[in-house]
Structure formats: C-alpha cells, structure tokens
Amino acid sequence: MRSEVIFLVEEAPEGGWVARCLGESIFTEGDTIDQVKESARDAVKCHFEDADQPAVIRFQGVPHQGPS
C-alpha cells in the first residue's frame, strides 16, 4: 500500500483548475478548488485497487482561501 499521493494543483489557462498526480498517471480538472480536490479523490479511488489505496492525498500549490 502506498502511504500517500501528491497532486500538483494549478490554475488552468482556459479557466478553472487542474490537478496532476506526481508519480502516477492521474490527471483531473474542475471549475473550483473544491471540485478539483473532489475529482482527484475520486480518481485515486478508481486508479488503485482497494488494498493499494493511499492513506493520504496531499495537494500542493493550492492558494490560500482565507480572508484577505
């Protein structure tokens, strides 16, 4: 079992967000940060067998969403 997977999250040139998994062939997109994170979680569930599901999914490059 993998302990974790890491996604690099970037703003897409055409709008929205893309997430690319480092070390795995997983790529997803969404209109919002929350959508791209949820899509990435779903993609991980589909990509790995039940016994190989990573314990942690990390997102790098996500901008701070708190008050300015």
Q: Which residue has the tokens 């039940």?
A: 50
Structural domain harbouring 30: 4-60
Residue 12 in any domain: the answer is: yes
Residue 68 lies in a domain: no
**Best CA proximity match to 21, nearest among 1, 42, 50:** 42
Instruction: Answer yes or no: is 67 within a domain.
Output: no
| Whole-number pLDDT of residue 48 | 95
Task: Kindly state whether residue 10 falls inside one of the protein's structural domains.
Answer: yes
What total number of domains does the chain contain?
Answer: 1
**Nearest residue to 7 via CA among 22, 17, 18:** 22
The predicted-structure confidence for 3-45, as pLDDT tens digits, reads as follows 999 999 999 999 999 999 999 999 999 999 999 999 999 999 9
18 part of a folded domain: yes
Indicate whether 33 belongs to any domain: yes
Domain-located, residue 66: no
Query: What pLDDT digit, counting tens, does each position of 46-57 carry?
Result: 999 999 999 999
Residue 11 lies in a domain: yes
